[in-house]
Structure 1
Amino acid sequence: MAWKNWSGSVAATASVARPQSEDELAQMIRAARMVRATGAGHSFMPLCDSGELIVSLDALDGTLSIAADRRSARIPAGWSIRRLTAALWDEGLALANQGDVNPQSLAGAMATGTHGTGAELGSLSTFARGFRLIGADGEVRWCDAATDADLFEAQRLSLGLFGIATAIEVAVVPAFHLAERIEKRSWADIRESYDDLAARHRHVEFWLFPYSDDVIVKTLDPCDPCDPPASTTDMDETAFRRVLDVSARLPFLTPWLQRAIMRTDLNGRRRGPAHCIYPSDRTIRFEEMEYEMPRAVGLDALAEVVGWIRRRRLPVTFPFEYRTVAADDIWMSPMNAGPVAAISMHQYARMPWQRLFADAEPIFRSGGGRPHWAKRHTLTRADVDALYPLCDRYRAVRRAADPAGKFLNPHMEALFS
């Protein structure tokens, strides 16, 4: 069966192989001319595309191993965020942060710089402490800050270019509980108070429908131990799905429908183990573009793109999502130039999105934004060179690790060959 991504917009001619052991995976890699790895398919770019071999690690054997000091754990790379956080919880441990969906594989999330929200918290890639990799020659090697340091630095956000990770050593923290609060606030108020909210809460994010003057704000803060919540999601999608289906048939109604849905009661409260509160059910298919903006200009950039949508009365059906992410030192990370405001622009998968994203992208780029590697973007090699001062070093490590380009595909070759 041919591979497709989660939204259905990216397809590959290769079928997916599911090795059950490292030896089987190594044999596949040795024999292949071209190979890419896939996780849950939550990338909207052709990162997993291959005309020959795509491998999934969800059947690969492996166990969780906790370090003696309980500050790190070695985790099978193909495990989903859902599986690994549940396993950590059973050991009294947790990830310091995660995003709002958890089917993604650990390796896939780290390879693309996936993140949650939190002014003092970095992406999942910042949690990496070491990688067990099978290289292009089929040989197993380990890299960390002390062993093959350049390979480790590149592998922290690898885009699948240096080998296939079978295990990842990850920083962990003692298990904790979170209280979630959702409320409606005015867009004008949030523009004035967001920095204060980000300083007062461990996590804060908001959603803004482009035709509404109100936003949906979610905060998460540590709380006393409690049972898991009854609900597995922050907001019920039923009414929103109906709005989207009407907008798909009658796009001119989009502004009215958004204002109507924002007149409803949107307040909510949940409490529970952190790994039960971070993720929410996301069952509506969409396309997404996300730009990481310098945090100082994030709110202005969002206001500019929303104003552009309103002036043109464009049928943008999903709300924008706005989050904060801490700076890091990872070579190809959008956060390596400083803390960012992550602005996610979505469109219902049943509606046109290509022209919409292409026209919006210059607004984000003009403000100094860098795209999330797994979300829709149109970066060229020249753009990568301009945005990432360490890209030549990254390419040099790639050439040394994979001189024949086995882990490239056309999309990766255009940027990193």
Structure 2
Amino acid sequence: MSWSNWSGSVGAEGTVHRPQTEEELGALVRAASKVRPTGAGHSFMPLCASDEAIFSLAEMEGRLTIAADRTTARIPAGWSIKRLTQELWSQGLALENQGDVNPQSLAGAMATGTHGTGRDLGSIATFARGFRLVGADGTATWCDATTQAELFEAQRLSLGMFGIATEIECDVVPAYHLVERIEKRPWAEVREKYFEMAAELRHVEFWLFPHADDVILKTLEPCDPCDPPPTTTDMEEATFRRLLNIGATVPALVPTLQRLMMRSNMSGHRRGPAHTIFASDRTIPFEEMEYEMPVSVGLETLEEVVGWIRKKRLPVSFPFEFRIVAADDIWMSPMNAGPVAAISMHQYAKMPWRKLFAEAEAIFRAHGGRPHWAKRHTLQRGDVDALYPMAERYREVRRAADPTGKFLNPHLEELFS
């Protein structure tokens, strides 16, 4: 196996190419019969898998170019969020929002609708203003809201099907600092006050172990300029890893272990440049499913899923993560019908997850949820059509951009061919 995703659960035999110039990339794409791009492999679905050619742009030459008005920048698409935000910071700039990890490539994060948290903050894809794409014939072209507008609209959340992005024009904002606070709160209290807090604070999310009665609440707020924090993570993982390994050996102990863990002190405080606070180290491998729920039923849905796990004493070893994300107008975005409550369900990679996820997914779907494209889901073509009114127009633009299906793989063919 020559390529695998971050968790090791998705692999492919295709040859991984790492072109260093756009010309080299174009020649390789032109010669290939099937092509898939890859970033950092943070997708849990087989979006990047191919038994033929897989392209990583992590080593491609390029530089950050900031517009004269300093509201946008042209960015090499293969740069990681970590590299990008460090470069922006050196120029006094930042992204308006990020998720809690930063190894993903900018192109990959946009292509899958990756997001952070915030009532008024959209996904990373909402920052895009234009794309330079190497198409199926190996030729580079540009698209934005006025040039090849339909291609641009589809490319905003592309799943890598419209070409390989080599440069992205992206919104940026003046550099800012954040203070992070982590504390343990009763689940009943947070359930009652969450949306009130979300209206008052720039970022507020929580983690809920399904067998515990307290949650880990995390808030981020702008603060005065300060030095980078002394640590690169919001919470240490050593104790959690030990408990996970015990639970993987004796699954019946998972509920007890969770309640034991939540008796400990769960508090933290960090301050620093925004990009150093958004991102945290995540080194424990897991599988993940995330459903974007209509915001009005988010907490109700989480309660139902947790109730099902508790009733059956199921060994779900990781906590659920709960966030809200602003609405957008992107054709294939789970947020395009309105703001969402994002519910992430995780399972330790050493433990069974397929049956658990399948049963939980039925609950998410019953409440009107739509999955994050890069997280585990079982959507079929009919589901895509039912959930996304623009699905067939999206396919039409894909067929025009790639008539032979060079950028498809079996997973994507099933949904979008």
1:60-71 to structure 2, matched below 5 A, reads 60-71=60-71
Which residue of the partner structure matches residue 320 of structure 2?
Answer: 320
**Pairing 1:169–2:169 present:** yes
Aligned counterparts of 1:268 and 1:52: Cα–Cα separation in 2: 46
Which residue of the partner structure matches residue 216 of structure 2?
Answer: 216
Q: Normalization by structure 2: what TM-score?
A: 1.00
**Pairing 1:253–2:253 present:** yes
CA shift, 1:51, in A, is: 1.3
Aligned counterparts of 2:413 and 2:146: Cα–Cα separation in 1: 29
Which residue of the partner structure matches residue 8 of structure 2?
Answer: 8
**SS of residue paired to 2:196:** helix
Aligned counterparts of 1:181 and 1:151: Cα–Cα separation in 2: 41
The residue identity in structure 2 corresponding to 1:335 is M
Aligned counterparts of 1:285 and 1:15: Cα–Cα separation in 2: 24
Aligned counterparts of 1:342 and 1:243: Cα–Cα separation in 2: 26
Aligned counterparts of 1:314 and 1:183: Cα–Cα separation in 2: 26
Aligned counterparts of 1:15 and 1:134: Cα–Cα separation in 2: 19
CA shift, 1:359, in A, is: 1.0
**SS of residue paired to 2:97:** coil
Q: Any idea what the Cα deviations from partners look like across 1:221-259, whole Å, max 9, x if unmatched?
A: 000000000010000001100110000001001011000
Aligned counterparts of 1:90 and 1:267: Cα–Cα separation in 2: 31
1:68-79 to structure 2, matched below 5 A, reads 68-79=68-79
**Pairing 1:265–2:265 present:** yes
Which residue of the partner structure matches residue 125 of structure 1?
Answer: 125
CA shift, 1:194, in A, is: 0.3
Which residue of the partner structure matches residue 386 of structure 2?
Answer: 386
1:185-264 to structure 2, matched below 5 A, reads 185-264=185-264
**Pairing 1:299–2:299 present:** yes
Aligned counterparts of 2:61 and 2:329: Cα–Cα separation in 1: 32
Which residue of the partner structure matches residue 340 of structure 1?
Answer: 340
Which residue of the partner structure matches residue 58 of structure 1?
Answer: 58
Aligned counterparts of 1:184 and 1:201: Cα–Cα separation in 2: 17
Aligned counterparts of 1:254 and 1:102: Cα–Cα separation in 2: 29
Gaps of 5+ in 2: none
Aligned counterparts of 1:391 and 1:301: Cα–Cα separation in 2: 26
The residue identity in structure 1 corresponding to 2:147 is T
Aligned counterparts of 1:356 and 1:27: Cα–Cα separation in 2: 44
CA shift, 1:15, in A, is: 2.2
Identity fraction in percent: 72
Aligned counterparts of 2:140 and 2:35: Cα–Cα separation in 1: 16
The residue identity in structure 2 corresponding to 1:10 is V
- Please list every run of at least 4 consecutive aligned residues from structure 1 whose deviation after the TM superposition is greater than 4 angstroms: none
Aligned counterparts of 1:121 and 1:360: Cα–Cα separation in 2: 27
Aligned counterparts of 2:248 and 2:198: Cα–Cα separation in 1: 35
**SS of residue paired to 1:275:** helix
The residue identity in structure 2 corresponding to 1:334 is P
Aligned length: 417
**SS of residue paired to 1:296:** helix
Which residue of the partner structure matches residue 24 of structure 1?
Answer: 24
Q: Normalization by structure 1: what TM-score?
A: 1.00
Q: Any idea what the Cα deviations from partners look like across 1:24-81, whole Å, max 9, x if unmatched?
A: 0000100000000000000000000111100000110000000000000000000000
Which residue of the partner structure matches residue 409 of structure 1?
Answer: 409
**SS of residue paired to 1:23:** helix
Aligned counterparts of 2:245 and 2:50: Cα–Cα separation in 1: 33
